[in-house]
Amino acid sequence: MTVTRNRMDFADLSVGWEAEARQWIQWARTPGHDSYWRFHRDQFLRLLPPPGRQTLDIGCGEGRLARDLKELGHRIVGIDSSPSLVAAAREFDPSMDVRLADAAALPLDDACADLAVAFMSLQDIDGMPAAIQEAARVLEPGGRFCLAIVHPINSAGSFEETTAEGHFVIKGDYLHAFHYADAVERDGLTMTFNSQHRPLEAYFIALEKAGFLVEALREPGLPEHAIVTGTGRRWQRVPFFLHLRALRP
């Protein structure tokens, strides 16, 4: 796998994701290809409470997590701002409720759900604080908000070498937000991930202002079964992702 990172100046992250929709559908739906299948879906699912009244999938994309949650017994409403990805999710499962909307302005009633998830979507949403505020609004008291993001240390830095002992270096600015694009190639497929780096504090300030109380936090590294070569062990030293569960009191 090769990854090329560039800092970018996007007018709107959602525009970048709509432009990459076709590539993302192929990337996401190739079994065992993306990190979702390879090593972090199951870790995330362990954070979730059991199915309840209604589960919202905020930034559902083409619907892979929503389909897995539905299989586990959740009553799903999926939300995404990409017309192409919403169409793909609906086409794959016409029975699923998938809506085209901005995460910062959810087309849902107050306190309509007991679980909201944002799996690998908040770093791709310009209005992240407003999206977290909206998640709080649509959750009933006692509801949970579970999120997964690219770990901020990962989006700020990189390994200088691909060896297992390679040095991890942050050359730029961790504490300030910036847009970036990761162009990734693996096994003949290519995908450009348009995202925004934010320090960890930015997410926790948004959670704090929305009234959430954090119950659990995980920093998963690469699991043993996902190690293809010895060089992959460098990602057992630095977290790839951050998983979190929060309570709306």
> Using one digit for the tens of pLDDT, what is the confidence trace for 115-157?
999 999 999 999 999 999 999 999 999 999 999 999 999 999 9
Q: What is the CA radius of gyration of the chain?
A: 17
Q: How far apart are the first and last CA of the chain?
A: 43
Task: Count Cβ neighbours within 10 Å for each residue of 113-128 and write b for 16 or more, e otherwise.
Answer: bbbbbbbbbbbbbbbb
pLDDT on residue 224: 64
The yes-or-no verdict on residue 211 having pLDDT over 90 is yes
Could you tell me the two tokens for 118?
A: 């944002």
Q: Which residues pair with 147 in a beta bridge?
A: 118, 244
Tens digits of per-residue pLDDT, 19-48? 999 999 999 999 878 888 877 899 999 999
What does the alpha-carbon distance between residue 203 and residue 145 come to, in Å, rounded to a whole number? 13
Report angle CA 77, 78, 82 to the nearest 5 degrees.
150
All structural domains of the chain with their residue ranges? 12-150+200-247
What does the alpha-carbon distance between residue 47 and residue 244 come to, in Å, rounded to a whole number? 8
Fold (CATH) for 12-150+200-247: Rossmann fold (3.40.50)
Tell whether the torsion through CA atoms of 116, 180, 22 and 26 is positive or negative: negative
Cβ atoms of 92 and 62 within 8 Å: the answer is yes
Burial class (CB in 10 A: 0-12, 13-18, 19+), 182: middle
Query: What phi, psi does 183 have (nearest 5°)?
Result: -90, 115
Q: Which residue has the tokens 């700020």?
A: 156
Tens digits of per-residue pLDDT, 51-95? 999 999 999 999 999 999 999 999 999 999 999 999 999 999 999
Per DSSP, the three-state class of 18 is: helix
Cβ atoms of 215 and 247 within 8 Å: the answer is yes
pLDDT on residue 233: 77
Could you tell me the two tokens for 236?
A: 């057992």
The yes-or-no verdict on residue 10 having pLDDT over 60 is no
Query: What phi, psi does 99 have (nearest 5°)?
Result: -125, 140
pTM over 0.75: yes
If you average pLDDT over residues 174-181, what whole number do you get? 94
Q: Which residue has the tokens 């990854």?
A: 3
pLDDT on residue 146: 98
- The residues, ordered by sequence, that sit 6+ positions from 101 with a Cβ below 8 Å of its Cβ are 79, 80, 81, 107
Per DSSP, the three-state class of 68 is: helix
pLDDT on residue 91: 98
